[in-house]
């Protein structure tokens, strides 16, 4: 009986497989990086080669957002096997960080000690070796050219530089504040070594030696053995159904997929399409509040901590039953999120599909804008500050205001909990590749855009560009962009007890692709908030 039920589910579940051949497409935050990906497709590479080249190039031309000094998650769909997999290239905690005592005295945001062991080089190398067709030299070349020839500083990067340059090390200042063009010769050399030696060079070879020497001199915590033991991990994505749509999303150590599954699990029996705007927003915010509470209190690296059965349908039904339509539940009534231990311009997301239907949804990060602000002089690598994604200070909010629990405490070799949510949403006849930067707000952004796709009441560009709103349990407020609520809806939400907090700036930088599987028609949707582009193969 159970077998028949499962079989039925398999037959009925939408599959990303399609009869139609596609034109290939890359949608990314910077044109030169999307072009790097497209150049691989032109050389008969596949979506995975394109993703590797785009990732490396983004690390050069968006130095404030991602790079080989950071990490991230690549969600893949391998068409010929009809299989999904997540490449986990998340940073790990260096041994010297112990249980995080260093952050009682030192910052987990600024300076070399805030860096986790970078994962991106291992992730890209694994992607190329396991799934690509082209060789590493070809794939790395566009990034090398961009680093050595330089690129012009655009308005977005300029404003990030103005905001964050006070945290820069000397070398970061020399490199990024030299003028209207940024050249990164030391990084170009490191990329050349990566092209030749791949992860062996980065984690055990010359680059490793240089990086560790810089760390020792300048107060960083990363040592030879941290690099030598870094491993990229292939993980099963989080897969769940919501009212005829299948979600494939990031697994732990990203909280993204589980938090999305938590929200949609609570709302399984609600027909959002028939609700008026105030009711819909109220319900979504209440479900977010409960799902983020679970995230913050219980999630961490599942290789280190036991994660409770948060997605048990009975439990989710109970959470739904606790939502009152007429009144917001104060977060303090739901519980707390740090039980045991007492703006979205950085990070990057891109989406790729190739002619065979292979897909990549990748979100990559160095955490805060320009990561730790520390640029290793001998390698040109700008190091991340992902240590701040751990619960480094008991009961205190991190840079994104998240108050988190012991499941996400610092431990040697552990991966810090992430909100990065690269996702595929597969409907009866269309597929949506989606993701965005934006710290803790990433999950609610992917949620709102996916709802746009599923409810399909507006043009596709609106799913990405509509003003956003967000609740993350603590602080107990709805954070929103200008224009997210009309005055009547805002009044109604306040009447129900919600506190509204207008964000000073718009947030996120989503890069999505809509695929109509029957016809093969593709719509690239770059976020109007940023400078991203969609490039289609001619
Ligand atoms: O992994 C995370 O959740 C964060 N390090 C992502 C940071 C981010 O998106 C910054 N962008 N605003």
Per-residue pLDDT tens listing for the chain (538 residues): 333 333 334 444 677 877 667 889 999 999 999 999 999 999 999 999 999 999 999 999 999 999 999 999 999 999 999 999 999 999 999 999 999 999 999 999 999 999 999 999 999 999 999 999 999 999 999 999 999 999 999 999 999 999 999 999 999 999 999 999 999 999 999 999 999 999 999 999 999 999 999 999 999 999 999 999 999 999 999 999 999 999 999 999 999 999 999 999 999 999 999 999 999 999 999 999 999 999 999 999 999 999 999 999 999 999 999 999 999 999 999 987 765 433 456 899 999 999 999 999 999 999 999 999 999 999 999 999 999 999 998 788 999 999 999 999 999 999 999 999 999 999 999 999 999 999 999 999 999 999 999 999 999 999 999 999 999 999 999 999 999 999 999 999 999 999 999 999 999 999 999 999 999 999 999 999 999 999 999 8
Residue 438 is assigned to a ligand binding site:
no
Tens of pLDDT, residues 176-185:
999 999 999 9
Q: What is the pTM of this model?
A: 0.96
Reported residue count of the chain is: 538
- Three-state secondary structure call for residue 96: helix
Residue 331 is assigned to a ligand binding site:
no
Test site for ligand 1: of 115, 295, 439, 445, most ligand atoms within 8 A of the Cβ: 439
Please give the pLDDT value at position 338.
Answer: 67
> What is the position in ligand 1's atom list of the atom closest to the CA of 389?
5
Please give the pLDDT value at position 538.
Answer: 87
Q: Ligand 1 mean position to 439 CA, how many Å?
A: 4
C-alpha 512/C-alpha 425 separation (Å) is 11
Please give the pLDDT value at position 9.
Answer: 40
Residue 509 is assigned to a ligand binding site:
no
Residue 419 is assigned to a ligand binding site:
yes
The contacts of residue 335 (CB under 8 Å, 6+ apart) are 293, 297
Q: Helix count (H) and strand count (E) of the chain?
A: 18, 20
> Do residues 29 and 511 lie in contact, with contact meaning Cβ atoms separated by under 8 Å?
yes
Q: Ligand 1 mean position to 437 CA, how many Å?
A: 6
Structure tokens at 79: 């068409």
- DSSP state letters, 401-456: -----GGG---TTPBPPB----EEEE-SSEEEEE----GGGHHHHHHHHHHHHHH-
> What is the position in ligand 1's atom list of the atom closest to the CA of 366?
5
Please give the pLDDT value at position 19.
Answer: 62
Residue 262 is assigned to a ligand binding site:
no
C-alpha 407/C-alpha 300 separation (Å) is 5
C-alpha 349/C-alpha 500 separation (Å) is 28
Please give the pLDDT value at position 8.
Answer: 37
Test site for ligand 1: of 400, 445, 510, most ligand atoms within 8 A of the Cβ: 400
Q: Which ranges of 267-387 would DSSP assign to H, the alpha helix?
A: 277-298, 313-321, 331-334
Selected catalytic residue, list 92, 190, 259, 347 = 347
Q: Whose CA is nearest to atom 6 of ligand 1?
A: 439
Q: Is 347 considered catalytic here?
A: yes
Q: Ligand 1 mean position to 344 CA, how many Å?
A: 8
C-alpha 126/C-alpha 89 separation (Å) is 9
**Protein residues whose CB sits closer than 6 Å to any atom of ligand 1:** 344-347, 365, 367, 386, 389, 418-420, 437-439, 442
Residue 430 is assigned to a ligand binding site:
no
> What is the position in ligand 1's atom list of the atom closest to the CA of 442?
9
Complete domains list, the chain, with CATH: 25-234+349-415 (no CATH), 236-343+421-536 (3.60.20.40)
Torsion of CA 400, 405, 409, 415, to 10 degrees: -60
Q: Ligand 1 mean position to 11 CA, how many Å?
A: 37
Test site for ligand 1: of 437, 440, 441, 510, most ligand atoms within 8 A of the Cβ: 437
Bridge partner residues of 478 (DSSP): 500
Q: Ligand 1 mean position to 44 CA, how many Å?
A: 33
Q: Ligand 1 mean position to 363 CA, how many Å?
A: 9
């Amino acid at each position: 009986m159970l077998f028949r039920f499962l079989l039925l589910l398999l037959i009925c579940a939408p599959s990303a497989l399609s009869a139609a051949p596609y034109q290939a497409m890359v949608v990314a935050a910077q044109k030169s990086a999307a072009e790097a990906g497209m150049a691989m497709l032109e050389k008969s590479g596949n979506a995975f080669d394109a993703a590797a080249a785009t990732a490396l190039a983004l690390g050069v031309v968006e130095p404030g957002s991602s790079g080989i000094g950071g990490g991230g998650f690549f969600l893949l769909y391998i068409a010929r096997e009809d299989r999904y997999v997540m490449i986990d290239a998340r940073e790990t905690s260096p041994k010297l960080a112990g249980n995080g005592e260093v952050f009682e005295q030192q910052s987990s945001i600024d300076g070399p000690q805030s860096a986790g062991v970078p994962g991106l080089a291992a992730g890209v190398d694994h992607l190329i070796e396991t799934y690509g067709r082209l060789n590493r030299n070809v794939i790395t070349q566009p990034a090398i050219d961009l680093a050595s020839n330089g690129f012009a500083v655009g308005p977005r990067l300029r404003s990030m530089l103005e905001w964050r340059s006070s945290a820069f090390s000397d070398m970061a200042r020399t490199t990024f504040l030299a003028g209207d063009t940024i050249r990164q010769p030391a990084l170009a050399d490191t990329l050349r070594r990566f092209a030749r030696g791949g992860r062996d060079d980065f984690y055990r070879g010359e680059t490793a030696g240089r990086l560790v020497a810089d760390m020792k001199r300048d107060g960083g915590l990363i040592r030879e053995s941290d690099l030598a033991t870094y491993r990229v991990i292939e993980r099963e994505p989080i897969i769940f159904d919501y009212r005829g749509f299948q979600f494939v999303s990031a697994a732990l150590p990203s909280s993204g997929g589980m938090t999305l599954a938590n929200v949609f699990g609570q709302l399984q029996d609600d027909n959002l399409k028939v609700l008026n705007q105030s009711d819909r927003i109220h319900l979504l915010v209440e479900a977010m509040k409960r799902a983020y509470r679970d995230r913050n209190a219980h999630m961490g690296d599942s290789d280190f901590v036991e994660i409770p059965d948060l997605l048990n349908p009975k439990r989710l039904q109970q959470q739904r039953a606790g939502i009152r339509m007429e009144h917001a539940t104060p977060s303090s009534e739901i519980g707390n999120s740090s039980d045991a231990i007492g703006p979205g311009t950085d990070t990057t997301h891109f989406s790729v599909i190739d002619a065979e239907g292979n897909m990549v949804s990748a979100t990559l990060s160095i955490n805060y804008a320009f990561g730790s602000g520390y640029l290793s002089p001998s390698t040109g690598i700008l190091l991340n500050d992902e240590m701040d994604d751990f619960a480094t200070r008991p009961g205190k909010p991190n840079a994104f205001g998240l108050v988190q629990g012991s499941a996400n405490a610092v431990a040697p070799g552990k991966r810090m909990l992430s909100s990065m949510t690269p996702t595929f949403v597969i409907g009866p006849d269309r597929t949506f590749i989606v993701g965005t930067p934006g710290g803790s707000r990433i999950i609610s952004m992917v949620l709102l855009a996916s709802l746009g796709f599923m409810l399909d009441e507006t043009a596709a560009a609106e799913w990405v560009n509509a003003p956003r709103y967000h609740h993350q349990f603590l602080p107990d407020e709805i954070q929103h962009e200008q224009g997210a609520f009309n005055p009547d809806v805002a009044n109604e939400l306040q009447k129900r007890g919600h506190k509204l907090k207008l964000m000073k700036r718009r947030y996120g930088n989503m890069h999505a692709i809509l695929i109509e599987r029957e016809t093969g028609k593709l719509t690239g949707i770059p976020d109007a908030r940023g400078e991203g582009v969609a490039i289609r193969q001619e």
